[in-house]
Amino acid sequence: MSIGESSLEAANKAPVSVCPGCGRELPEKFCPGCGEKKFDPHHLTLRHFFEQVVEVFTHADNRFFRSFRLLVTRPGFLTNEYMHGRRKAYLQPVQLFLVANLLFFLVQTFSVLEPLTTVLWAHTHAMPYQERAQRVVQQEISRRHVTLEEYSARFNAKEKTEAKTLVVFMVPCLALVLSLIYVFKDRPLVTHLVFSFHFYAFALLSLTVLGVLLTAFTFAWGDRLKQSTPGTPTYIPWLDLSIAIILGAFFMYYLFRSLRAVYASGRVVSFFLAGGIVVVVYKILTLYRIFLFFVTVHELA
Q: Report how far residue 233's alpha carbon sits from residue 152's, in angstroms, rounded to the nearest whole number.
A: 13
Q: Report how far residue 209's alpha carbon sits from residue 113's, in angstroms, rounded to the nearest whole number.
A: 10
Q: Averaged over 116-133, what is the pLDDT?
A: 87
Q: How many domains are there within the chain?
A: 2
Going by pLDDT thresholds of 50, 70 and 90, the confidence category of residue 127 is confident
Q: Report how far residue 93's alpha carbon sits from residue 262's, in angstroms, rounded to the nearest whole number.
A: 15
The answer to whether 18 and 25 have CB atoms below 8 angstroms apart is yes
Residue 84 maps to a domain: no
Task: Name the domain boundary from 59, 84, 112.
Answer: 59
Q: What is the pLDDT of residue 105?
A: 87
What is the extent of the structural domain holding 47?
17-59
Q: What is the pLDDT of residue 160?
A: 85
Q: What is the pLDDT of residue 36?
A: 66
- What is the DSSP annotation of 68-127? HHHHHHSTTHHHHHHHTT--TTS--HHHHHHHHHHHHHHHTTT-S--TT---HHHHHHSS
Going by pLDDT thresholds of 50, 70 and 90, the confidence category of residue 1 is very low
Residue 30 and residue 109 in one domain: no
Going by pLDDT thresholds of 50, 70 and 90, the confidence category of residue 122 is confident
* pLDDT tens digit sequence for 57-115: 555 567 888 999 999 999 999 999 999 999 888 999 999 999 999 999 888 888 777 77
Q: If you compute the radius of gyration of the chain from its CA atoms, what whole number of angstroms results?
A: 27
Task: Name the domain boundary from 6, 41, 59.
Answer: 59
Q: Report how far residue 79's alpha carbon sits from residue 81's, in angstroms, rounded to the nearest whole number.
A: 5
Q: How many residues does the chain have?
A: 301
First to last CA, the chain: 85
Buried b (16+ CB within 10 A) or exposed e, 41-79: eeeeeeeeeeeeeeeeeeeeeebeeebbebbeeebbbbb
Going by pLDDT thresholds of 50, 70 and 90, the confidence category of residue 46 is confident
Q: What is the pLDDT of residue 72?
A: 93
Q: What is the mean pLDDT of the chain?
A: 81
Residue 168 DSSP one-character state = G
Residue 120 and residue 178 in one domain: yes
Q: Packing angle between helix 267-300 and helix 170-181, nearest 10 degrees?
A: 150
The percentage of the chain sitting over the pLDDT mark of 90, rounded to a whole number, equals 41
Phi, psi of 229 (to 5 degrees): -135, 135
Residue 284 maps to a domain: yes
For the chain, where are the alpha helices, taking DSSP H only? 3-13, 46-55, 62-73, 77-83, 93-107, 120-125, 130-144, 148-166, 170-181, 189-220, 222-225, 237-263, 267-300
Residue 152 maps to a domain: yes
The percentage of the chain sitting over the pLDDT mark of 70, rounded to a whole number, equals 75
Residue 7 maps to a domain: no
pLDDT above 90: residue 9: no
Residue 253 maps to a domain: yes
pLDDT above 50: residue 299: yes
* pLDDT tens digit sequence for 128-142: 899 999 999 999 999
What's the whole-model pTM score? 0.75
* pLDDT tens digit sequence for 73-86: 999 999 999 999 99
Q: What is the pLDDT of residue 43?
A: 65
What CATH number should be reported for the domain holding residue 55? 2.20.28
Residue 76 maps to a domain: no
Residue 296 and residue 175 in one domain: yes
Residue 36 and residue 170 in one domain: no
